Chain A
């Protein structure tokens, strides 16, 4: 039965059909699958499959990334209310768009993925000052600050990731909190993330979810 559920769910996600995905989940619950199994045996593996498929599929597109993340986040959110025990959280991330930037699609895709991967995400919104990234990261005990920027000046300017890096350094938090960045300018210049002081970047929102999880795990074991 589980194999069929996984297959049907993956198909619905790949076709960006949210209603069909929820129907699979509801039927699975009705047939006795626990909410925990839905998340850990169906949803999370599906996100991982999508990460891999999207990387290989030349037809993969932004709309598909968006829907994959939204479906995964919504199903997970619904299932968490049915968990017998609260799940173990992998880590915490504060996320926002850089100062001066209101482009929020990438941030939303990353948030959806992270939620489904059991990462606690604090959304700081758009046009976030560097100081706020740092104070909120400290407040929430975040492992990672994720900064999205779609314009060159918000990605590389003095008020974005560069300033967050400077503030972390100033406060002695550089080895405690990692910085990741994403957005169009980094796709056009794959070395750009280093020049703004980030620890990592990803070419798209789905890949960013995995990169952040890897970074959190690496930080906890180092």
Chain B
């Protein structure tokens, strides 16, 4: 079976030789090609080449079209990205410096004609042509409620959200939601078929129960309504979100959840199964390793943690093993140990 078929089998609960194994070695692609981060992320063909090489070397199931998270801010006018050689690029200067700047903010009429899209499109074209028929192609999309953090900084966004004028806040969110709706359509059209919906405000770790219901949920519905939830993965930026899974499944109908390493994986799987297993519907629980610990773990410790997670998730199927942020400081021996263990313990026949 191809990785794409293995993913479909896990989601649908049909037989497969093993569980799907996802990994994200993003910045490592630059090192693999012997380039600086700035040079690597300048061209879509570099990112595609880096991702294909990492995938070939380690043999996991997916490829990523993500450059770096701050890239989405470029569509709103950000032209200052802070590069590092030991980690991910970061927004270097915020587009919104004062609340007055929000009135000047614009969403491109068609993001696919924006220069910021060109290299992403080029990367996706190569990935689709090279492995699109066999491998899941992942995209990362920031929810409207989180995008303002990339445009003005998280503390300024929190201040506007909690104490600012509601009309200004809603205007900003409306722009961000319009952008999201265009972006998800563009990624789908370009061949991405695993769409990671990054929504940290869609968890009680960021906002309380009342605000989740009155603020986060309505904006998530608005983000997702036009394009639907096909291939959408619910992800809260590594924050735990078990408490909201029932609402996310009932109100948004999202059935694929990327569980935080800080959450109780067994509980998450129980919640998801209890809502889906009766009617034979497709669903997936993604068990995610705490890959920051991989920096200093021994290969044996990495193997033991993979075994623990898979033993929790594998019974009953509908389970995927995945990674979180995969920092560049993780030794290659640990990446290999983790993935070898995932293939070994993830075998189903």
| B279 part of interface (Cβ distance < 8 Å) | no
| A184 part of interface (Cβ distance < 8 Å) | yes
A residues less than 8 Å from B33 (CB atoms): none
Number of interface residues of A (CB under 8 A): 34
A residues less than 8 Å from B211 (CB atoms): 63
Q: Are A102 and B82 in contact (CB under 8 A)?
A: yes
Number of interface residues of B (CB under 8 A): 36
B residues less than 8 Å from A154 (CB atoms): 84, 87
* B305 CB → nearest A CB, Å: 12
Q: Are B290 and A153 in contact (CB under 8 A)?
A: no
Q: Are B162 and A157 in contact (CB under 8 A)?
A: no
Task: Name the CB-closest residue of B to A104.
Answer: B155
A residues less than 8 Å from B329 (CB atoms): 152-153, 156
A residues less than 8 Å from B107 (CB atoms): none
Say yes or no: A105-B158 contact (C-beta < 8 A), given A59-B204, A63-B207: yes
Task: Name the CB-closest residue of A to B158.
Answer: A66
B residues less than 8 Å from A191 (CB atoms): 296
Say yes or no: A151-B292 contact (C-beta < 8 A), given A63-B206, A63-B208, A102-B153: no
| A62 part of interface (Cβ distance < 8 Å) | yes
- B residues 69-111 with Cβ under 8 Å of A? 82, 84, 86-88, 90-92, 94
Q: From the candidates B163, B205, B208, B325, name the one contacting A152 in the complex (CB within 8 A).
A: B325
B residues less than 8 Å from A59 (CB atoms): 204, 208-209
Q: From the candidates B91, B163, B209, B328, name the one contacting A102 in the complex (CB within 8 A).
A: B91
B residues less than 8 Å from A63 (CB atoms): 158, 161-162, 206-208, 211
Q: From the candidates B153, B206, B238, B290, name the one contacting A62 in the complex (CB within 8 A).
A: B206
Q: Are B205 and A188 in contact (CB under 8 A)?
A: no
* B72 CB → nearest A CB, Å: 15
B residues less than 8 Å from A62 (CB atoms): 158, 205-207
A105 to B327, CA, bound (A): 22
Q: Are B154 and A103 in contact (CB under 8 A)?
A: yes
Say yes or no: A188-B262 contact (C-beta < 8 A), given A67-B162, A100-B84: yes
Task: Name the CB-closest residue of B to A186.
Answer: B292
* B92 CB → nearest A CB, Å: 7
Q: Are B293 and A61 in contact (CB under 8 A)?
A: no
* B24 CB → nearest A CB, Å: 13
- A residues 34-49 with Cβ under 8 Å of B? none
Q: Are A100 and B82 in contact (CB under 8 A)?
A: yes
| B299 part of interface (Cβ distance < 8 Å) | no
B residues less than 8 Å from A67 (CB atoms): 162-163
| B116 part of interface (Cβ distance < 8 Å) | no
Task: Name the CB-closest residue of B to A62.
Answer: B206
Q: Are A104 and B161 in contact (CB under 8 A)?
A: no
B residues less than 8 Å from A102 (CB atoms): 82, 90-92, 94, 153
| A80 part of interface (Cβ distance < 8 Å) | no
A106 to B2, CA, bound (A): 44
Q: Are A187 and B262 in contact (CB under 8 A)?
A: yes
| B246 part of interface (Cβ distance < 8 Å) | no
Q: Are A61 and B262 in contact (CB under 8 A)?
A: no
Task: Name the CB-closest residue of A to B330.
Answer: A152
| A163 part of interface (Cβ distance < 8 Å) | no
* A79 CB → nearest B CB, Å: 19
* A151 CB → nearest B CB, Å: 6
A152 to B312, CA, bound (A): 27
Say yes or no: A192-B86 contact (C-beta < 8 A), given A61-B208, A66-B158, A184-B238: no
Task: Name the CB-closest residue of B to A19.
Answer: B163
A residues less than 8 Å from B132 (CB atoms): none
Q: Are B290 and A188 in contact (CB under 8 A)?
A: yes
- B residues 279-315 with Cβ under 8 Å of A? 290, 292-293, 295-296
Say yes or no: A157-B84 contact (C-beta < 8 A), given A61-B207, A63-B158, A152-B327: yes
* A139 CB → nearest B CB, Å: 25
| A10 part of interface (Cβ distance < 8 Å) | no
Query: What are 13 A-B contacts with C-beta separation under 8 Å?
Result: A18-B163, A59-B208, A62-B158, A63-B161, A63-B162, A102-B90, A103-B153, A104-B154, A152-B327, A153-B328, A156-B295, A158-B86, A188-B261
Known: A59-B204, A104-B153, A189-B293; 13 extra A-B contacts, CB below 8 A, are A63-B162, A101-B90, A104-B154, A127-B82, A152-B325, A153-B86, A153-B87, A154-B87, A156-B295, A157-B84, A157-B87, A158-B86, A189-B295
